[in-house]
Structure 1
């Protein structure tokens, strides 16, 4: 097997003046052992290959260098085409920290804040653009809300509900509460944006994960797997990360809040950005998708599997609820403290 890999990838490695002694497969990444060191050879889709070199160059130009270095070929290209596939080569960095420390999430969010900070751009937005964004989400959420309302009405009109339908009825009230909170925060965002009429964009990593945050031998962290990077609101990276992280068994952990606090320490979110984050996170999209699939693709899974899927979506929603409640309570305390200090300063100035 190893000999076959060496023979297949040999022509690619020749373009880097390298010869493999041994190759291990890790999905799209190949760990290549050579006399010149250990390297990671990764395959990238043709679609991503078009933008990927530009993204890397822009990051370096902005001064941001905490990405796993990409080796150029002998003819100075980031990517090499072989067998109708694109590939690029990096040094092999570990996903592990030393045994004496395990603060990878804190390091990840500090570095994510730096990535966003280096690529941050602020610009004026017209009210029409704000209104269009607001209307797009309201209309999309209204359709989802109406679908769930019609589904529960259908369930309640039955003499005998299926296990899935019965379970959905038991969690529907919590689903409505999550939806209402999302609507409320989106309205607050809308009013705030109409006043400020300013927006910020950053280069989003696209797949923020501890698996995509690697360490060199000195323990310094670097991002990899930036093929899905896109310019957008910083909220996008945060929502995708926390959505995945909170898709688990019921937990009441302050870890997510602490990671977000680390991020905000190095790249403070504006009030309207935090409102958008709260809104995006709160809407019960996983519940909707699960019910929609049950109604439209019943043969794709068994009743038992659908019930388990709905249970996981509910757990995720409750985990998100705890996370967002912690953020809101902390914001309330912070603003109360700021108001108290301001009043004390005013009283001192009058004495």
Structure 2
């Protein structure tokens, strides 16, 4: 623990106890206060964004961002033996379950962060349209390839569990890919030369393991922080949380209005959120790897991976329907017509 004690000297902390909680987290007590010392995964190219996130949290009085202590030299971190360490208060996490209360706190906290750090910028729609058109063609090609795989599997006298799963899931994949294309068309059909695009402080790797709840709730670990559309932050959160079979996806959708109350997303931002959730790339990569024989995983591992990705995709369809019913005034054609 000598190297850890050396890092703590940069904060004038002389520990009574140091407990190694994980490979990267140490609980430190000096007899008066408890601290969490983190050996981060920060690289030098991410360090500036990480520092800016805490400076923004301080300047905007974002109490839901767990503060980071300054070293004696006024820095947010201590570099020691090629590792970057930072120090925060130790919070005993009293509620580790995902329930109505924690979900409400999460939506309000991240919504407030996105709203208070929001900046507007005018962007040219022509480049945006080109990017979305390319992406729409990719989705159309992906649907054709998936259909080819399904037809190939169905020719087998006995389908493997993986092949049977792909065939069973294809209808929802087809529906979702048509859904994503109709939403991309909303960007392609924009008539304005410029539109307003909102950027906010984004955590970059949101999930419930990065929320601590004591007397109040805090968001931690902004090591992947970016300044990006809030829709990107939400898409990452949902993808991280809905993959398991016991994820309470209904709760995420039912309480989504709390986020919208804290940070009302524009129609374009809602479209962007759905587009990212319905991205077929991960699903297609797994199936293509299986067909090409490039995947070294077992049949069980392949089936589990596919189920996880499929649940994310299915959640995107469910949230898309909710958004259309609750927030959009545009009437879309039936994607199956």
Same fold (TM over 0.5): yes
Deviation at 1:165, TM superposition (A): 1.9
Partner of 2:15: 20
Partner of 1:243: 239
**Cα contact 1:178–1:283 (8 A) shared by 2:** no
**Cα contact 1:68–1:224 (8 A) shared by 2:** yes
State which structure, 1 or 2, has the greater radius of gyration over its C-alpha atoms.
1
- Residue 11 (structure 1) aligned with residue 6 (structure 2): yes
**Cα contact 1:246–1:320 (8 A) shared by 2:** no
- C-alpha spacing 1:63/1:132, structure 2 compared with 1 (3 Å): farther
- C-alpha spacing 1:28/1:310, structure 2 compared with 1 (3 Å): same
Partner of 2:167: 169
Partner of 2:70: 72
Partner of 1:265: 261
In 1: Cα distance, 2:129 partner to 2:172 partner: 28
The 5 A counterparts of 1:1-351 are 5=1, 7-24=2-19, 25-44=21-40, 45-47=42-44, 48-97=46-95, 103-192=101-190, 194=192, 197-215=195-213, 219-249=215-245, 253-296=249-292, 298-331=294-327
Give secondary structure in 2 for the equivalent of 1:197.
Answer: strand
Question: C-alpha root-mean-square deviation of aligned residues, in Å?
Answer: 2.8
In 2: Cα distance, 1:335 partner to 1:135 partner: 20
- C-alpha spacing 1:66/1:249, structure 2 compared with 1 (3 Å): closer
In 1: Cα distance, 2:58 partner to 2:273 partner: 28
- C-alpha spacing 1:318/1:51, structure 2 compared with 1 (3 Å): closer
Give secondary structure in 1 for the equivalent of 2:201.
Answer: strand
- Structure 1 unaligned spans of 5+: 337-351
- C-alpha spacing 1:275/1:46, structure 2 compared with 1 (3 Å): closer
In 1: Cα distance, 2:94 partner to 2:160 partner: 46
Greater mean alpha carbon deviation, residues 86-95 or residues 152-161: 152-161
Equivalent pairs counted in the alignment come to: 327
- Structure 2 unaligned spans of 5+: 332-337
